[in-house]
Structure 1
Amino acid sequence: MTPTQLQNVAEAADTIGQLLSQNDLAGASAVLTPLTVPEVVELVDRLSIEDAAILYRLLAKGRALEVFEALSPGTQGDLVQALRNAEVTTLFAEMDPDDRVWLLDELPASVAPRLLRGLTRQERDLTSGMLGYPQDSIGRRMSPEFVTTHPQLTVAATMARVRGALDSAETVYTLPVTDHGRRVVGVVSLRDLMGATDDALIGDLMHEAHIAVVSEDAETAARRTTDYGLLALPIVDGEDRLVGILTIDDAARILKQEESEDAARQGGVEPLRRSYLSTPIRRLVRSRVIWLLVLAVGATLTVQVLDTFEATLAQMTVLALFVPLLIGTGGNTGNQAATTVTRSLALGEVTPRDVLKVLSREVRTGFCLGLLLGLLGFAIAGLVYEWHVGLVIGLTLVAVCTVAASVGGMMPLAARAIRVDPAVFSNPFITTFVDATGLVIYFLIAKAVLGI
Structure 2
Amino acid sequence: MTIVEFDTIERLLRDEDLAGVTSVLSTMSVAEILAAMRRLRSNRQALLYRLLDKDVAMAVFERLAPAVQTELVAGLRDEELVSLVEDLDPDDRVLLFDELPAQVADRLLHGLSPQERRLTTPMLGYPQGSTGRRMSPEYVRVKPTMTVAETLDRVRRVGSDVETVYTLMVTDEVRHLVGVVALDDVVLASESTPIGEIYRETASVTAISNAEDAARLCADLRAIALPVVDSEQRLIGILSIDDALTILEDAESEDAARAGGAEPLRRPYLSTPIHRLVRARTVWLLVLAVSAMLTVGVLERFEATLGEAVVLALFIPLLTGIGGNTGSQAASTLTRALAVADVRPADIGRVVMREAQVGLTMGAVLGALGWCIATPIYGVDIGNIIALTLLSVCTIAAVVGGAMPLLAKTLRVDPAVFSTPFISTFCDATGLLIYFTIASAILGLGSGS
TM over 0.5: yes
**Counterpart residue number, 2:167:** 174
Write the distance in 2 (CA, Å) between the matches of 1:129 and 1:112: 15
- Residue of structure 2 aligned with 1:397, choices 390, 393, 410: 390
Which of these residues, 261, 268, 280, is aligned with residue 261 of structure 2?
A: 268
Show CA shifts across 1:257-301 (max 9, x none).
111011101111000021111111111000000000011111111
1:191-221 deviation per Cα after TM superposition (whole angstroms, max 9, x unaligned): 1000100000111101111100000000000
Once structures 1 and 2 are overlaid, which stretch shifts more, 332-341 or 31-40? 31-40
358, 367, 387: which one aligns with 1:365? 358
Distance 1:149 1:438 in 2: 63
Whether contact under 8 Å (2:323, 2:431) holds in the other structure is: yes
Q: Kindly indicate whether the alpha-carbon contact (under 8 Å) linking 2:145 and 2:194 is maintained by their aligned counterparts in 1.
A: yes
Match for residue 338 of structure 2?
Answer: 345
**Shift in Å, 1:82:** 3.3
2:176 maps to which residue? 183
* 1:133 lines up with 2:130 in the alignment: no
Aligned partners of 1:322 and 1:228: how far apart in 2? 50
The one-character-per-residue Cα deviations of 1:14-34 (angstroms, maximum 9, x if unpaired) are: 322221122100111222222
Is residue 423 of structure 2 the alignment partner of residue 445 of structure 1? no
For structure 1, the 5+ residue unaligned runs are: none
Match runs of 1:23-422 below 5 Å: 23-422=16-415
Deviations 1:312-338 (A, max 9, x none): 111100000111111111111111000
Alpha-carbon deviations, 1:157-214, whole Å to 9, x = none?
1111111112211111001110112111111000100010000011110111110000
Counterpart amino acid of 2:150? A
Greater shift after overlay, 350-359 or 78-87? 78-87
Aligned to 1:433: 426
CA displacement at 1:440 relative to structure 2 = 0.5
Structure 2, unpaired ranges of 5+? none
CA distance in 1, matches of 2:265, 2:6: 20
Q: Does the residue aligned with 1:35 lie in a helix, a strand or coil?
A: coil
AA matched with 2:412: R
After TM superposition, give the deviation of residue 391 of structure 1 in Å: 1.1
Contact 1:45 1:75 in 2 (8 A): no
- The AA in structure 1 aligned to 2:63 is A
Code of the residue aligned with 1:90 in structure 2: it is S
| Coordinate RMSD, CA, aligned | 1.1
* Pairwise CA distance, 1:65: 1.1
Q: Distance in 1 between matches of 2:170 and 2:423?
A: 48
- Quick check: 167-176 or 108-117, which moved more? 108-117
Q: Do 1:184 and 1:209's aligned partners in 2 also have CA atoms closer than 8 Å?
A: no
Counterpart-to-counterpart distance in 1, 2:250 and 2:75: 23
Larger mean CA deviation between 316-325 and 107-116 belongs to 107-116
Residue pair 2:370, 2:383 contacting (<8 A) in 1 also: yes
1:423 alignment partner in structure 2: 416
Query: Would the aligned equivalents of 1:13 and 1:47 in 2 still touch at CA under 8 Å?
Result: no
* SS of residue in 2 equivalent to 1:92: helix
CA apart distance, 1:428: 0.6
Q: For residues 67 and 444 of structure 1, what CA distance do their matches in structure 2 show? A: 61
Helix, strand or coil at the partner of 1:244: strand
- Give, as a single letter, the amino acid of the residue that structure 1 aligns with 2:228: I
CA-CA distance at 1:72 after TM superposition: 1.8
| 8 Å CA contact retained: 2:140, 2:159 | no
Deviation for aligned residue 1:38 = 1.3
SS at match of 1:105: helix
State the number of aligned residues: 445
Distance 2:113 2:247 in 1: 27
- Which sits farther off after the overlay, 409-418 or 12-21? 12-21
Q: Which moved more, 1:13-22 or 1:352-361?
A: 13-22
Question: What TM-score results when the alignment is normalised by the length of structure 2?
Answer: 0.97
1:73-125 CA-to-partner distances (Å, cap 9, x unmatched) read 22222222233333222110111101101111222222201111221011112
Q: Does the 8 Å contact 1:50/1:82 carry over to 2?
A: no
Aligned-partner Cα distance in 2 for 1:426–1:337: 9
Q: Could you tell me how far apart the structure 2 residues matched to 1:131 and 1:11 are? A: 43
| TM-score, scaled to structure 1 | 0.97
Match of 1:16 in 2: 9
SS at match of 1:200: coil
Partners of 2:376 and 2:108 in 1: CA distance? 73
| Counterpart amino acid of residue 33 in structure 1 | S
Task: After superposing the two structures, state which structure 1 stretch, 276-285 or 24-33, moved more.
Answer: 24-33
CA shift at 1:37, angstroms? 1.3
